[in-house]
Amino acid sequence: MYHHFNEWRKDGSWKKLWLTLLRVHRRRLDLSSIQLDGSHTLAKNGGAAIGYQGRKAARTTNLLFLADNTGQPLACASPQAGNHHDVFDIETSFAELCALVEEAQISLEGVFLNADSGFDAKRLREECFRRGIEANIALNPRSGERDEKEDVYFDAELYRQRTAIERTNSWLDSFKTLLVRFETSAENWLAFHYLAFAVLLLRKIPPDDKL
């Protein structure tokens, strides 16, 4: 079975499966706002995109996720070593996230994006502005550029919707393959996420409406 999984990862089948499901059922998504977050996963067997994370006191891999307003996963970026913070190479990671969603024919223009203060970076705000996304990012009091942030938009009421991403993390942790990373291949581990995304979406769709 793993041989077939690996072959389907190589030819992009798992990614295609996810994008097709997302496109076909995109009207079921709640895009009144979307949520951005990162998640560190313990890595046990070594491999690519693994680094020591001080808060976890262990080697981890970090993934950035986008989810809709109910917590349904939309996309994840390429795995990063756990010793990197969430905004490491954020331009590349955020571009990957947006590209996946847009490939499923979902427009992000005008969408409100919630993110915690760990994502309070000028580079990310500029990327959101360039794409027509309304960034609702909590301000980091330890960050510089305080004067530049005096007129930065932040809606505390809207930010409460960010709790949806906690449901995303809980749902993904229910898959043992994702709870702890044993995969040495970062590409295979990413493919398992696409498969989990598909399962979570299919669970929400009535049996007579899955085709």
Query: What is the secondary structure of 54-83 as a DSSP string?
Result: TTTTEEEEEEEEEE-TT--EEEE---EETT
For residue 66, give the CATH number of its domain. Answer: 3.30.420.10
pLDDT single digits (tens) 9-53: 999 999 999 999 999 999 999 999 999 999 999 999 999 999 999
Residue 76 lies in a domain: yes
Q: How many domains does the chain have?
A: 1
- Burial of 210 (C-beta count, 10 Å sphere; 0-12/13-18/19+): exposed
* Cα 9 from Cα 15, distance rounded (Å): 8
**Structural domain harbouring 182:** 17-201
To the question of pTM greater than 0.75 for the whole model, the response is yes
pLDDT single digits (tens) 144-194: 655 555 678 899 999 999 999 999 999 999 999 999 999 999 999 999 999
Residue 148 lies in a domain: yes
